[in-house]
Structure 1
Amino acid sequence: MDTTSPHYPQTDDSHLHALNTVPTPRSNRVLSSPPHDVVRLIQCFHCSQPLRAPLRLPCGNAVCRACLPPIHRRTGITYPANEDRKQGFTCLWEGIDENCAGEHCVADCGGDILLARLVDVFEEVLGASSTTVQGGFRVIWHSIERDTGKWIEKSSTCQGRGLLEGIYDLAKRGLFDYDASEVKYELDGHVKQDDGVLSKLMDAMQSELDCHVCYSPIVDPLTTSCGHTFCRGCVIMIMNHSDLCPVCRRKLNVDSTVHVEPSNQRIAGLLETLFPEQTASRREAVAQEGADTDNDETKLPLFVSSLSLPTVPTFLHIFEPRYRLMMRRVMRSRNHQFGMIIPNRGGRSQGVLGRSRFMQYGTVVVVERYEPLPDGRSLVIVTGQSRFKVLGSEFVDGYHIGRIQRVNDMSITEEERQESMETSALSGFNETNSSDKEKALDAMSTQELFDVGQNFVRQQHSQGAAWLQPRVLLAYGGIPDDAARFPWWFASVLPIWEEEKYELLPTTSQRMRGHEPKTYISQSVVVGAFLAILMVQVATNAGQVLRTRWRERQSQQRVEREQESPQPTSESPDEAGLNEEPARDAG
């Protein structure tokens, strides 16, 4: 917009104050943006009227609930396998906003409580204002005609109101387009913005834009699934202690996506437009606080030993003096957490760590059970919570303390988009053809990958596989029905090398982890065949040993019986009377 245009209000006593100045005193507040830019923040993109029952979208935008685009059945989506995720729509911001994926799931949309309240504030202050001025103004703008896609010039006239109130009134009547550009004002009489109305609006808005966690102006606003809006940093802090909303106590499902979830663009825009200086100051303070606290929060003692995976238990016997000390310190800490990481046995380069003693990725574990023994050793049961990447480390009292960065999964929306793209692009490959096997694997849906792994485990369990004995299932739990937990459980119980299981830790999607069981299955078949051959050999050797020992024992018993029985005396046949002839009769 050309603010030097003769159609734009000038800075004399009979016109609106310059809109590019931001006086700090409350008594002399003026807008740093044109009135139409302020009103646009609460306008609907589709109907151009103030938002009615605003619906938040996964891309961070908002639309009237009644203006939601037509809903269609989504295809190529199998994970998560919820019925409410099978309905979607094409977003109005497709191709306009780079944060918009184009298609959204209806289940990912929801009410925006704060935005609805702010729209009400606009109505209370601007819509119900009784302020009247002499004359009026005419606003001219260019807009795209939706039927033809051509730019056309439009105009509207407002009488008896200031600029901000007038633009709001035009928007309320559907006479000012959301996408208006090259906006010009033609003033009629002494039209200016009433600073009292502006101050009243800003005062009412400021009281609503405080975070309910830190009680300060919201920074980087994030709207949760329940519809409440907080600072992103406050949501992260909440999720470290609880998964419930601090306002309504509903369960929050943003743990793995809280760092990548788009900000609420309407709330952020209102803060930047109405309170630019306060917002900048608050953002700077939060950044400094984050720099100070992140160093403590991202430092974690590292136990270089065995592999631990998220959601599954690991059983530890702590006997080394250095790790005894570490465990005592962990148990004195508030969260009872430390990092599990495996040694770098192959001496491979680990990114910025170089050829470190341990691998670059690990798992944050929390102590579930701690049993100290009289001699200083301890038995510990831990459960994996999240994954991390080691950025650096220091050696303290014999063990490593790592500077870590959390590894998060991509959002469910991105997960679904990836599945849809792969299955649609790679469908039709012949899995029997060796050259197409890898592509056929990519063409399988996420649910099919999960079913392959789960069916294999059930088959092995029915055949009495040694790695699925009752004691194993008692320790790690039964076969999970949750596709998100299954890869971690499967890798934990499968008897393969830790280095093979380690490849799961850097993955950022359920679909990527779903590919691993196919590899594990082929490996486990080889392992199973090897174990079967080994058992046959052991059984054969044992049988031979038993038969040899049995024969030796039988021979020894026969000798002993012969030694105990008396030997018979030797006689001639005549003496024994065996050859006597019968006596003949005398004649």
Structure 2
Amino acid sequence: MMRRSDSTTTELKCNGRSLRRSSEKIKRLKRREKRPYGRPKLFSGGDLFSCPLCGNLLKHPVTVGCGHTFCSGCLRSDCGIRCSKCSTSFLGNKQKPHCVNVVVQHLVEKWRDKPDDDNDTGAPPKTRWTTCITPDDLECILCSLCFLDPVTTSCGHTFCRDCLTRVLDHRLTCPLCTHPLEVGDYFKRTTLLLDDAVRILIPEEFDDRLKVTLSERFELAASPDVPVFVCTNAFPGVACPLYVNEPRYRLLTRRCLQSSSKRFAMASGDPNNKFTDYGTVLEVKDAVTLADGRTILTTVGVQRFKVLSRGEQDGYDTAKVDYIRDAQVPPEKVAHLTGLHQKVHSKAVKLIRSLKPNVLAEVEQLIGEMPKIEKHWAALPDGPCWTWWLIPILPLSPQLQVGLISTTSLEKRLRAIDKMLEHMKIKMKALQRDTVTCSHPDDSLGICREGRADIEADSVEN
């Protein structure tokens, strides 16, 4: 008896698996032909409510992660692990039971039960669906408008993407049935069947909805008010990493990232006016959205401002602002200012070099390395960048930081920094001689709070 080679055996096994799969597919197709649902009724948009796998009218429709919708039975019996429409893998989803897409199921039932005489293919497209499917059937329950970028949750309910995201900012539950949702619902893909249905079946309502949305975004972009992130003081030219978790600031961040400028205002809190009268506009350089909707922003300060009036927009603060810059240095003061700048910069460099390596590494990780002196530093709108880089690592109170942001005199700002550096130098020498003690736990640079009051008492005037 002749023994088959390994290659021949492998080839026969592969052919055997292919034949078995083909036989199983034929059996499935024969079973589907006996189903009472039959072929979907046609209209100008094609077989909108047909299953991509069996080609029949959807039965117990479920929407998978890629946004395509199938019969639940076809999805269970299909031996593949990828979507037959887009080849997206949904192996992970197949391990969990799929919930019926409630809206699609409702549409399919109304379309299937429509009287046959209403399906006259010679009639205008609109008269072929108004008797069964109405605009109300394609309406988001949250905004009461037709779906725009519809998203179906794991529990089978569908909402506009923006509407659902605003709900998920506050809690991870379905707004309709309170079923617990997963962080992945933040990133669900568009339910393509419903997106097509809105565009094909109710084009006028879709156009109106699109105009409303675009108008709202245009009004936000054209508004003289800027969104205000109330958190801490930021400074021109200095990096300001942010961790966005609070629901109102998640919305602010999304709108900022959708805008052309990608900018928002940053100010520290004020118990009397919500936020301080002066702050800095930040520009987003990079954004990383975490699985649960929180965002890590990489921003940098670009411009100082003064608050003219305060407002509110969808839960977060806004303000009308006036942008400020340093006053022009008179020619007769340039030489004096140059000498002051050189002296203060030398003291600052000595301070930075005296820091412990681990402290300096932490500082540079947060706000980068100390900037070099610009060629025309005196003519810059905010003066030399290194002064602003130094301010957040000096032991200054938030109130004094705001005072430095508000001043338009480079000379006064340099003198204030010089005074703090002198206080720090004296206290560090005293600490080395063990003549004073410093027990304040927040003093990361090892400087006592003594002397801060003197600096703050010398208020910075504009």
Same fold, TM-score > 0.5, yes or no: no
**TM-score (norm: length of structure 2):** 0.43
**TM-score (norm: length of structure 1):** 0.35
